[in-house]
Structure 1
Amino acid sequence: MSDDDRAPPPRFNAARYCLAENARHRGDKAALVVVGEQEVQRLSFAEADRAVRAIAGGLSRLGLEPGTRVMIRMGNEADYVLVYFGALAAGLVALPSSLQLTAAEAAFLMEDSGASAIVLGEGAVINRDRLGERILLGPGEIAAMKAGEPAADYADSAADDPATLVYTSGTSGSPKGVLHAHRAIWGRRPMHAHWLGLTEHDVMLHAGAMNWTYTLGVGITDPWACGATAIVYNGPRDRGIWPALIAAHGATIFAAVPSVYRQILKYADLARHDLSRLRHGVTAGEALPADLLNAWTETTKKPLYEALGMSEISTYVSSGPTIPVRPGSPGKPQPGRRVAILPAEGEPVPLRAGETGLLAVHRSEPGLMLGYWNRPDEEEAVLRGDWFTGGDLASLDADGYLWFHGRNDDLMNAMGYRVSPNEVEAALIEHPDVAEAGVAELAVRADLKVIAGFVVLAPGAAQDPQALIAWCGERLAAYKTPREIRFLDALPRTVNGKVQRKRLAETQA
């Protein structure tokens, strides 16, 4: 990929990029399918284009200036997508958020972002005492906008104009806003061929919630950027529902976190469903265990491609149709990406193959964030010369494959050695009695912390902590082996399903 191919046009609106050409050339094609418990809602590209421009026109008529933040607090419904793209189409900044947030958590986002408008779906809560002069829009107001006169065109945005503000999951401290430009959607193009294998002929089914950037990106934005159909589910969370949806709607690509694939294998009767149209699955959000990769591919005979990313840049390392899978590695930097491993301290000079350091992406990357919202100190901490470092520890082998060694701030100190929880978790999850596992340091005395495993047992398995410790001792160096095992009914997770390691030590057995 040449530098000219990497750079978006100077004038670039992300919503126009995803919808305008599709509406002209494939207007009758299904753009979005929302599958509910009782009904299925379908929008063509022409209908989506009109609705998005109509919402853009409605937001503009409220007097909202370019760059104004619009907070979206809705469920897995079509209007979530339309409002999100409508904000971008109007030159505003969309702030996606989750219905699962408490009123206090939602108020923090509203106030920290300085949002001027709040869009609420059915069942959404907001602290009205803290609204101030903010504009509150409910389902009725959005319906009226969609029925109104659409904007004649998409906003004439610059590629570097702000478009989306997403907040990190807040596993430590207060959530922080990550501000992205319109060009971020252009920066996703390498993943279309090299991770997703996505073309206009595909039907993408995503298992995530709309508020998550993984869902809005891979589940909606990427299919629309390629002229493909996007499917989301808005029904009861039956853990075995996904093969039925794949078969019923002819999904060719399925996207989910690793735990969903494990649930499918455990709870779904795969033999009952026709998965012939499914080409492959893709996964991100957490590391893909080798045993799960093998179980999925052996059972379904379908490839499963992993990717590594972050809120600040999305996914940029992956396996895929052009990058063969190597179990235990998320893959290689996608062609066109400038990726390096830097020393944790000192000059930002890329390390050699096999050396572990901070995973870094060059600041010329078009998908890289504009910065942290009102957090210049944290922004300064992640910039090292020409590189952005997000805190992931990794190494690149001689073949260019990346090996993830955890977060720089997740590392545990055991007997003077720095130990990644990922390595210990991988050993625990291999045990047949273990359904899920998390690892963190546990304070057993004021002056002593030990490595502890937090385990959700498989159905019917008995609690035997010494057996699990011995199992790990056979697979790990002594200083890496857990000293304690705690049994839990469930691991603490963020609303998007990521294990919150920092909360593990707070849980009760």
Structure 2
Amino acid sequence: MTAPAPFNMAAHVLAAAPGRPDKVALAVLGPARANRWSYAKLESAVRGVATGLLRSGLEPGDRVLLRLGNTPDFPVAFLACLAVDLVPVPTSPQLTGPEVTALCPTLAPAAVIAGDGIALPDHPAPVIPATLLTAWHDLPPAEFVMGDPERPGYIIYTSGTAGRPRGVVHAHRAILARRHMVDGWYGLTAEDRVLHAGAFNWTYTLGTGLLDPWTIGATALVPAPGTDSSALPLLLKRHDATMFAAAPGVYRQILRAPFAPMPKLRHGLSAGEKLPEAIRAAWQDATGTQIHEAFGLSECSTFISGAPGNPAPPGTLGFAQPGRRIALIDADGAETDHGTIAIHRDDPGLMLGYLGHPEDTVARYSGEWFLTGDIGSRTAQGAIRYEGRDDDMMNAGGYRVSPIEVETALANHPGIDEAAAVEVTVKTDATVIAAFYTGPATLPEADLAAFASERLARYKTPRIFIHRASLPRGANNKLLRRALREEWEATDGQA
């Protein structure tokens, strides 16, 4: 798909607004009532906030760090930045002060938009309180800045194998890749009402739960902050949701208790980590609907999936979405039926590169293919079967977490000599981050958890701590995390 020029991502997302001004674009679902935003209100707020940002002294190309929670302020600020060629940088509100401060030397934000109680970086950039955004909703609407579709649009952070979060720079044209998902994954129409259970800063939620419904003219439904997963079935039923999107862990939590039928629900969507077949089957038994899974990564939108008209064969991720070029690449760089899953370098959803680390960008390519670092195999039907990571990256509720980052934080504890962070299975279809450590004595788990939580976001904090006399190493003295995981699973967690 060739991006039209000139182009603006926010203008593209809100193009349907003038034709349906009174339709509900967003509903934030509370236990008793919903806070509804029409398309007219959404567009007015975005363009008014864009004017406020420019009046605050920001200039096109400036990077704006978003420290916001799961409230409408988040998508409004995100689109407002894009509208006037500022570069929004979504971050998890769970990040601690030291974690977000560590991003700033390379990011060099020109401003920070912050919600109450969310940790701020130790950085001289001016802070724009989220409360000010509401006052800007009624400012004269800014004009969309049109330009090269290849120019930077937004930056998201993903953990790297080196243990440092890396800024992934996406172009304005990245939104165009998401059109492949409309038929290749969602089956989305303007009449749909999509409820997504994830956090806005997560690209899965931001794209699937907000931007894609708005681009097509549908309605996005969002649980109010603090909503427990047990309340989601009632919200799905009460608000006539036709699609439900979540990470596999959310489906698992919902299925722990019986719930009433949801007659308007057409199907579920899953991404962020591999969907266990047991959860897929249990959901279908409970709701009579399928879950369609998709595979992607922070550096590119999802590009392999099952869809209502083309479901994934059992045990597979599904097929390449129409219009996406994928391959499986072996160690010699050749295309094969078993190897690293790769996407073509011309895909509109593929990143421009890693902020400040061009060498890391180059290392991800093999000729014309961008290597995901995930291993797959192709079935006789052409579907892709997922076989795991080719490194030690962990997955915590859909977030990719580097073991190096966790280990570095734990190494500061005076009672720990060495640490290894590993994703381990604690029961069927459930994994957590475990920290194996050496030191003079076994330390209280509560003390270690408290120590880690001061230095790591909650989703990065280990749930299990295991004292070991030593940690396994190979002939080259490399830490063997895989050996720890295999030992744990072989002994049913008694390692």
Query: Same fold by TM-score, threshold 0.5 exceeded?
Result: yes
- Cα distance between partner residues in 2 of 1:451 and 1:9: 46
Contact 1:450–1:484, Cα closer than 8 Å, also in 2 = no
What corresponds to 1:60 in structure 2? Answer: 54
What corresponds to 2:168 in structure 1? Answer: 178
Equivalent residues in 2 for 1:32-431 (5 A)? 32-37=26-31, 39-127=33-121, 130-132=122-124, 134-151=125-142, 153-169=143-159, 173-267=163-257, 269-271=258-260, 274-344=261-331, 346=332, 348-351=333-336, 353=337, 356-410=338-392
For the residue of structure 1 that corresponds to 2:229, the secondary structure is coil
Q: How far is the alpha carbon of 1:148 from its aligned partner?
A: 1.8
Q: TM-score, normalised by structure 2?
A: 0.81
Change (3 A) 1:36 1:108: farther
Contact 2:424–2:489, Cα closer than 8 Å, also in 1 = no
Which amino acid in structure 2 is aligned with residue 382 of structure 1? R
- Cα distance between partner residues in 2 of 1:303 and 1:374: 42
- Cα distance between partner residues in 2 of 1:398 and 1:203: 36
Change (3 A) 1:384 1:86: same
What corresponds to 2:443 in structure 1? Answer: none
Q: How far is the alpha carbon of 1:67 from its aligned partner?
A: 1.6
Which amino acid in structure 2 is aligned with residue 131 of structure 1? H
Deviates more, 1:170-179 or 1:399-408: 170-179
- Cα distance between partner residues in 2 of 1:411 and 1:219: 26
- Cα distance between partner residues in 2 of 1:56 and 1:315: 29
- Cα distance between partner residues in 2 of 1:9 and 1:256: 32
Change (3 A) 1:109 1:39: farther
For the residue of structure 1 that corresponds to 2:381, the secondary structure is coil
Change (3 A) 1:450 1:101: closer
Change (3 A) 1:106 1:282: same
Q: How far is the alpha carbon of 1:214 from its aligned partner?
A: 0.7
Contact 1:441–1:451, Cα closer than 8 Å, also in 2 = no
Q: How far is the alpha carbon of 1:170 from its aligned partner?
A: 5.6
Q: How far is the alpha carbon of 1:145 from its aligned partner?
A: 1.8
- Cα distance between partner residues in 2 of 1:88 and 1:450: 41
Q: How far is the alpha carbon of 1:92 from its aligned partner?
A: 1.0
1:18 and 2:17 correspond: no
Contact 1:30–1:229, Cα closer than 8 Å, also in 2 = yes
- Cα distance between partner residues in 1 of 2:481 and 2:46: 53
Contact 1:22–1:46, Cα closer than 8 Å, also in 2 = no
What corresponds to 1:484 in structure 2? Answer: 491
Q: State the identity as a percent.
A: 40
What runs of 5+ residues in structure 2 fail to find an aligned partner? 395-421, 437-467, 475-479
Q: How far is the alpha carbon of 1:37 from its aligned partner?
A: 4.8
Deviates more, 1:244-253 or 1:324-333: 324-333
Q: How far is the alpha carbon of 1:146 from its aligned partner?
A: 1.5
For the residue of structure 2 that corresponds to 1:240, the secondary structure is helix
- Cα distance between partner residues in 2 of 1:71 and 1:38: 33
CA-to-partner distance for each residue in 1:6-49, whole Å, 9 max, x for gaps? 11202111110111x32221111001111235642111111111
- Cα distance between partner residues in 2 of 1:161 and 1:451: 40
Contact 2:149–2:173, Cα closer than 8 Å, also in 1 = yes
What corresponds to 1:7 in structure 2? Answer: 2
What corresponds to 1:494 in structure 2? Answer: none
Q: TM-score, normalised by structure 1?
A: 0.79
Contact 1:438–1:453, Cα closer than 8 Å, also in 2 = no
Change (3 A) 1:35 1:109: farther
Q: How far is the alpha carbon of 1:374 from its aligned partner?
A: 0.6
What runs of 5+ residues in structure 1 fail to find an aligned partner? 1-5, 413-424, 455-478, 488-508
- Cα distance between partner residues in 2 of 1:95 and 1:411: 23
CA-to-partner distance for each residue in 1:412-467, whole Å, 9 max, x for gaps? 9xxxxxxxxxxxx99978xxx6462369997865557586687xxxxxxxxxxxxx
424, 430, 439: which one aligns with 1:436: 430
